[in-house]
């Protein structure tokens, strides 16, 4: 048996766990384009597109006052923004996993560093969304009563609650992105086909169950009986479970 | 001897392909060990197993006395440079070297800069846009500047020209002399690195067929040539690795000749010539294949 690194001259400092996790965060941030810059460009494109449509509609109608006050208030554009964050998280893992392992980073440190980085991104984007929502509100919906960053009920909430809502939604999408990223790293595209196939069947199954057993009233009540924030808080269990499962999946992943 | 790498009965299959089969060997501290073998012999898989990137189906692997799998204290003093390394999209050479400086505690910035100059690494170019040789130069720079106590190179100089390769050898030997470390490297260019190696591992179709000090191997085989009948008579009771027949002349590569054997051969009118490491390896891998066909 040999226990190496014993000869005095070879005493060596192993980087602390905090340091190792910070290295993974730096690895993700080394190329800021996919996770820090590109999403804003996508947001800008989504925003510009909506603005263009509103202006077109307003000019066709012959003025904003010809339209219903809440004509532009129920807008789903924000879902595009969040789905893109999911994609960005998945892509970030695909880009760095093999390289991180090549640098002798353990899968555990890689997961923790990636989760920390994505948590930071969630705060970053939730802050950005809240600031944009505040501007949106201050400008009376960009002068057109159009609401992208605080659609539906969101505009009625105080800014702190808006921030909490954006944060939980961002965490939801990043946790799901961590999960799909882990699936992709371990099983490549085949894994994602299986996952999204299963998800589609699962959702269809739930809809079927709700319909067969007259559950829609209960579903409706779930959303109306709670405050918006409490409804959104129900994403947290999913976020927690997907993050844990992502860690388990990564434990046996190999670079390809 | 302190074993930095200890592998015992290591096996790994991918589906029906037995990439590595029951491989057992040690690599001593401060040695430069060559892992030789043909394409697809299992070299890269073995190195992936050694560094915990792949999981072995059977057997045990110890680096610095402990399992490398998910072991940060071992992996942080191990640097594995492989030709097939995937680099993050958008990374330039300088990003890769910066990451090396973060991760390896004994990173030598000055050495990295020296290597970048000597090997002409385009640090501002995206890795994706680099030629094969440039990517190899980047890998070699990362591997040497990491000063990792165990440095594993998988085909480190694929695509490097002869000048760059010799620059690499010079730097490796110089740095090895100043900062002793353990190096395991796989290569096709056997004769070129023959003088560098202390120890040779030869893997063929997933099995380890040679595990011997390089010095021992260099003197271990001799080519005996002459008139076919004479050669056949001489080698009949000996361990023949390869035989080539041309007209009435035969040359046979024979292992394990003693001095008395050599004298006898010369007296029988045969010519003797030393066998290069490369020829020996070719003989051994071919021999293993013939054995498989026969069995």
DSSP states of B125-151 as a string? SBGGGS-HHHHHHHHHHHHHHTT-SEE
Yes or no, beta carbons of A255 and B86 under 8 Å apart:
yes
What is d(CA A76, CA A38) in angstroms, rounded to the nearest whole number? Answer: 20
> Does residue B146 carry a pLDDT above 80?
yes
- With beta carbons under 8 A apart, name residues in chain A contacting B88: 27, 30-31, 95-96, 99
Q: Please, what is the angle between helix A77-102 and helix A107-138, to 10°?
A: 160
- With beta carbons under 8 A apart, name residues in chain B contacting A95: 88-89
Contacts of A177 (CB under 8 A, 6+ apart): A85, A86, A87, A88, A89, A90, A93, A118
Q: Which pLDDT does position B116 carry in this prediction?
A: 97
Q: What angle do CA B103, A249, B8 make, to 5 degrees?
A: 70
Q: How far is A174 from chain B (nearest CA, A)?
A: 20
Q: What is the pLDDT of residues B72-82, one digit of tens each?
A: 999 999 999 99
Q: Which pLDDT does position B83 carry in this prediction?
A: 87
> Does residue B96 carry a pLDDT above 50?
yes
Using 50, 70 and 90 to split pLDDT, how confident is the model at B115?
very high
Tokens 């720079």 locate to B141
Yes or no, beta carbons of A20 and B65 under 8 Å apart:
no
Yes or no, beta carbons of B71 and A31 under 8 Å apart:
no
Of A2, A33, A255, the CB nearest to B2: A2
Q: Which pLDDT does position B1 carry in this prediction?
A: 59
What is d(CA B174, CA B252) in angstroms, rounded to the nearest whole number? Answer: 39
CA B294 to chain CA centroid, nearest Å: 28
CA A54 to chain CA centroid, nearest Å: 27
Using 50, 70 and 90 to split pLDDT, how confident is the model at B287?
low
> Cβ atoms within 10 A of the Cβ of B86, count?
17
Per DSSP, B96 falls in state H
Q: What is the pLDDT of residues B245-270, one digit of tens each?
A: 888 899 888 887 888 888 888 888 89
Partner A contacted by B234 (CB < 8 A): no
Yes or no, beta carbons of B86 and A34 under 8 Å apart:
no
- With beta carbons under 8 A apart, name residues in chain A contacting B105: 12-15
User: Is residue B83 within 8 Å of residue B158, measured between CB atoms?
Assistant: yes
> Does residue B294 carry a pLDDT above 60?
no
Q: How far is B157 from chain A (nearest CA, A)?
A: 17
Q: Which pLDDT does position A164 carry in this prediction?
A: 95
ipTM of the complex: 0.86
Yes or no, beta carbons of A105 and B79 under 8 Å apart:
no
Q: Which pLDDT does position B124 carry in this prediction?
A: 96
Tokens 């792949």 locate to B54
Partner A contacted by B282 (CB < 8 A): no
Reduced to 3 states (helix: H, G, I; strand: E, B; else coil), residue B195 is coil
- With beta carbons under 8 A apart, name residues in chain B contacting A4: 2-4, 29, 64-65
> Does residue B291 carry a pLDDT above 60?
no
Please give the share of chain B, as a percent, with pLDDT higher than 90. 64
pLDDT in tens, chain A (256 residues): 334 444 444 456 688 999 999 999 999 999 888 889 988 998 899 899 999 999 999 899 888 888 888 788 777 788 888 898 899 999 989 889 999 999 999 999 999 999 999 999 999 999 999 999 999 999 988 988 888 888 877 888 899 999 999 999 999 999 999 999 999 999 999 999 999 999 999 999 999 999 898 888 888 888 888 888 999 999 999 999 999 999 999 999 998 7
Yes or no, beta carbons of A34 and B89 under 8 Å apart:
yes
Q: DSSP labels for A3-47?
A: --S-SSTT--PPPPHHHHHHHHHHHHHHS-IIIIIHHHHHHHHHH
Residues of A with CB under 8 A from a CB of B: 1-5, 10, 12-15, 17, 20, 23, 26-27, 30-31, 33-34, 95-96, 98-99, 101-109, 251-252, 254-255
What is d(CA A180, CA A195) in angstroms, rounded to the nearest whole number? Answer: 8
Q: DSSP labels for B23-73?
A: EEEEEETT-EEEEE--TTSSHHHHHHHHTTSS--SEEEEEETTB--TT-HH
Yes or no, beta carbons of B105 and A15 under 8 Å apart:
yes
What is d(CA B181, CA B198) in angstroms, rounded to the nearest whole number? Answer: 13
Of A15, A102, A252, the CB nearest to B85: A102
What is d(CA B27, CA B213) in angstroms, rounded to the nearest whole number? Answer: 11
What is d(CA A219, CA B60) in angstroms, rounded to the nearest whole number? Answer: 54
Q: Which pLDDT does position B113 carry in this prediction?
A: 97
User: Is residue A70 within 8 Å of residue A150, measured between CB atoms?
Assistant: no
Contacts of B134 (CB under 8 A, 6+ apart): B93, B120, B121, B122, B125, B159
Q: What is the pLDDT of residues B202-234, one digit of tens each?
A: 999 999 999 999 888 877 788 899 999 889 888
């Amino acid at each position: 048996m040999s226990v190496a690194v014993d000869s005095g001259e070879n005493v060596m400092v192993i980087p602390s766990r905090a340091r190792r996790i910070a290295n993974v965060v730096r690895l993700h941030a080394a190329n800021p384009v996919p996770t820090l810059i590109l999403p804003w460009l996508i947001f800008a494109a989504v925003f510009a597109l909506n603005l263009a449509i509103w202006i077109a509609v307003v000019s066709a109608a012959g003025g904003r006052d010809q339209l219903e006050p809440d004509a532009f208030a129920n807008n789903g554009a924000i879902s595009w923004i969040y789905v893109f964050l999911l994609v960005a998280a998945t892509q970030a893992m695909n880009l760095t996993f093999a390289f991180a392992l090549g640098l002798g980073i353990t899968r555990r440190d890689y997961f923790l560093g990636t989760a920390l980085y994505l948590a930071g991104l969630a705060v970053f984007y939730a802050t950005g969304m809240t600031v944009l929502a505040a501007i949106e509100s201050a400008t009376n919906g960009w002068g057109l009563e159009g609401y992208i960053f605080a659609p539906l009920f969101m505009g009625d909430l105080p800014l702190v609650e808006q921030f909490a809502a954006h944060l939980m939604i961002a965490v939801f999408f990043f946790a799901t992105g961590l999960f799909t990223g882990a699936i992709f790293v371990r099983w490549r595209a085949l894994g994602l086909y299986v996952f999204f196939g299963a998800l589609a069947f699962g959702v269809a199954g739930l809809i079927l169950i709700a319909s067969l057993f007259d559950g829609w009233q209960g579903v409706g009540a779930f959303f109306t009986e709670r405050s918006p924030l409490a409804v959104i808080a129900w994403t947290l269990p999913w976020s927690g479970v997907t993050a844990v499962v992502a860690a388990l999946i990564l434990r046996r992943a190999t670079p390809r | 001897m302190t074993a930095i790498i200890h592998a015992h009965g290591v096996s790994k299959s991918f589906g029906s392909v037995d990439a590595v089969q029951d491989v057992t060997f040690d690599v001593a501290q401060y040695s430069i060990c060559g892992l030789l073998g043909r394409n697809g012999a299992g070299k890269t898989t073995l190195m992936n197993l050694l560094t915990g990137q792949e999981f072995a189906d059977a057997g045990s692997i110890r680096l610095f006395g402990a399992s490398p799998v998910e072991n940060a204290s071992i992996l942080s003093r191990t640097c594995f440079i492989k030709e097939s390394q995937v680099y993050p999209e958008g990374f330039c050479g300088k990003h890769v070297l910066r990451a090396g400086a973060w991760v390896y505690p004994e990173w030598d910035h000055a050495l990295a800069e020296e290597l970048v100059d000597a090997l002409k690494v385009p640090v501002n170019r995206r890795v994706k846009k680099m030629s094969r040789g440039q990517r190899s130069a980047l890998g070699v720079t990362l591997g040497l500047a990491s000063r990792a106590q165990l440095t594993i190179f998988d085909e480190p100089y694929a695509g490097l020209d002869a000048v760059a390769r010799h620059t690499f050898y010079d730097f490796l030997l110089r740095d090895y002399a100043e900062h002793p470390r353990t190096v395991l490297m796989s290569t096709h260019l056997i004769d070129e690195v023959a003088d560098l190696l202390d120890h040779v591992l030869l893997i063929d179709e997933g099995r380890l067929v040679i595990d011997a000090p390089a010095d021992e191997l260099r003197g271990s085989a001799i080519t005996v040539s002459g008139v076919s009948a004479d050669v056949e008579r001489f080698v009949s009771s000996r361990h023949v690795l390869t035989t080539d027949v041309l007209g009435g002349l035969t040359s046979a590569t024979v292992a394990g000749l003693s001095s008395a054997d050599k004298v006898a051969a010369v007296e029988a009118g045969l010519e003797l010539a030393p066998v290069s490491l490369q020829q020996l390896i070719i003989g051994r891998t071919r021999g293993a294949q013939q054995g498989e066909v026969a069995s």
